Chains A and B, each alone.
Chain A
Amino acid sequence: MKLQTGTRLGLYAVLELARDPERTLTAADLAERFGVSIHHLAKVLRTLGAAGLVRGGRGAAGGYRFTGNRRRATLMDVVALFEPAPGQRAKEPGEDTEIGGALQRVLLEIDEIAEATLRSISVETMLKPRR
């Protein structure tokens, strides 16, 4: 499964900040930690801020901190901000044919399993040390 770059950056930022909700990190800190573009990350942080998952970032030196609920926020909450919802995507050519319909049913099955997985993993579960 491949995530769009924005989704991956969103997950990196949320999970890194949620490790210690008291701590603030700037977009530059996060960009350096994951070796990613600071401009793209800054945009992603604004989206996460609008969703209430992070707060801060006033001025160039302003840091961000995690403001979500570690036990309730799931990977899907972040993914849904950056990836088109399964029901919202544009219709592909050929979908109305018998073969196109059969293919759609398989793709829907995969989407449902992916969504169930992403929705079942909370930030808290993700940050638990592996036993």
Chain B
Amino acid sequence: MTAIRPAQASDLPGISALDARLTGFDKPDYWREMLAPDRHFLVAETGKGTLAGFIAGEVRAWEFGQPAAGWVFAIQIDPKLRQRGVGSALFEALVARFKAEGVTRVRTLVDRKDHLILSFFRAQGMVAGPSLQLDKDLA
């Protein structure tokens, strides 16, 4: 059984290590900033108290001209603990917090080649949003 609770400073090394293992990028400063009071940073831990996963997001208004919506910035689940509903529980907990802030939409951005995470968000009922992300190589 996993429990969801707000992340604390003492969770940061575990969060940073799990993320670095899965993405190949170590970014402890980025995760420390997620502890800001206006952000929602949640962790899931197993019955034994080990980190099973985390999710981070924030309500942002008028970002790219759009009315207030809850944005999911990141979600990572320990690969050994996947397919057990940890990701869904984290997503639902974050959405509940967004709703408590009064927003009625949740958004995220996903690498279109990352079919695993795309499938996860689709399974949560998410569909293509109103924006298209554009990009240019400046090198």
Contacts and interface: CB of A to CB of B under 8 A. Distances in A.
Interface of A: 74, 112-113, 116-117, 119-122, 124-125, 128, 130-131
A130 B126 CA distance: 11
A74 B119 CA distance: 9
Interface in B96-133: 112-113, 115, 118-119, 121-123, 125, 128
Chain B interface helix/strand/loop/mixed: helix
Contacts of B115: 74, 116, 119-120
A45 to B, nearest CB: 26
A117 B121 CA distance: 11
- Give the contact-size bracket for chain B: 10 to 19
B125 A120 contact: no
| Most central of B119, B125, B128 by chain A CB within 10 Å | B119
A117 B128 contact: yes
Contact of A112 (B112, B119, B125): B112
Contacts of A117: 128
A105 to B, nearest CB: 13
Contacts of B119: 74, 119-122, 125
11 contacts: A116-B112, A116-B115, A119-B118, A120-B119, A120-B122, A121-B119, A121-B122, A124-B123, A125-B119, A125-B122, A130-B125
